[in-house]
Amino acid sequence: MPYEGLTTIEVEVEGGIAWVYLNRPEKKNAMNPTLHAEMIAVLEELEGDANVGCVVLAGRGNTFSAGQDLKEFFRDLSGDPIAFKKAQRNANDWRWHRLEVFDKPTIAMVEGVCIGGAFTQMIACDFALAAEDATFCLSEINWGQIPGGLVTRVVTEALGYRDALDLCLTGRKFDGIEAAKLRLINEAVPAAELKTRTRALAELLMSKDPEAYRATKHAVRYVRNIPVREAEDYLAAKIGELRMRAGTGAQEVAIRKFVEEKSYRPAESSYTSVSDKIE
């Protein structure tokens, strides 16, 4: 079994959804170098696993993650720049570079704490749902640090300028309800409903054509930082790539349903926000 023998991660695949749990509850799922290495291997496996249509990232012990392991990641590696560089590269690889353009839908399911470095993977996921009473905090300034790794970069990507400055400079705690108001997450729900809501969203995302989902995710992520003309060209090329990977089948079926069969209406299958009722 590909997901056995892991010491810091637990994976449960059920109904096409891979529930990926950071599994160091005794340390509030603080991320040590072993966890980063294991997550790289796990994501690699999940991306190619035909039984998996959606990845949910969560944490054991009803908590998401207390960020980087201050002892094992920072202090223990402080005298070993090569080991530190490797751990840092692994950390950024899975939490951002890999997740940002992961081929399948990804959802961060946040309960308990989400602190510091844990913001990176939470923001990288396509969607983030949290318990209303979850605790978020960019605590680095309280440790005499800046939000390093890629945290400052991804926070400024997710939030407006004023809110990014506020959270980074004050290091204050805030709950899931405020995180939703800031649009740092899609939605906050009562803790007891979080898993059900997450499953419903995962099922909705898995109902989309997988190749169209993948290409659309790439398109949204990549066009933001390129000029309009290059974006126009990129999107045209991306449509070409989509046709090459998927053929024209999915698009043709959808158009036929609309034109000939008249069985397709956008309002029947779409929703504009996770805040809308998913069912």
Q: Which residues bind ligand COA (CB under 6 A)?
A: 27-28, 30, 66-71, 113, 115-117, 139-140
**Cβ–Cβ < 8 Å for 28, 66:** yes
Q: Is 36 left (phi over 0), alpha (psi -120 to 50) or beta?
A: alpha
Q: What are phi and psi of 109, to 5 degrees?
A: -110, 105
- Which one, 85 or 265, has the nearer CB to ligand COA? 85
> Using CB atoms within 10 A of its CB, is residue 16 exposed (0-12), middle (13-18) or buried (19+)?
middle
**Cβ–Cβ < 8 Å for 65, 111:** no
Cβ at position 86, least distance to ligand COA in Å? 18
**Cβ–Cβ < 8 Å for 84, 78:** yes
- Find tokens 């956008």 and name the residue: 266
Distance of alpha carbon 177 from alpha carbon 132, whole angstroms: 5
How many other CB atoms are found less than 10 A from the CB of residue 165? 13
Cβ at position 66, least distance to ligand COA in Å? 3
Cβ at position 23, least distance to ligand COA in Å? 13
- Which one, 91 or 274, has the nearer CB to ligand COA? 91
Q: Please give the structure tokens belonging to residue 69.
A: 């392991």
Cβ at position 85, least distance to ligand COA in Å? 17
- Which one, 64 or 213, has the nearer CB to ligand COA? 64
- Which one, 33 or 117, has the nearer CB to ligand COA? 117
Count the helices and strands in the chain (H runs, E runs): 12, 9
Cβ at position 33, least distance to ligand COA in Å? 12
- Which one, 29 or 198, has the nearer CB to ligand COA? 29
3-state secondary structure 106-155: EEEEECCEEECCHHHHHHHCCEEEEECCCEEECHHHHHCCCCCCCHHHHH
- Which one, 105 or 116, has the nearer CB to ligand COA? 116
Cβ at position 222, least distance to ligand COA in Å? 28
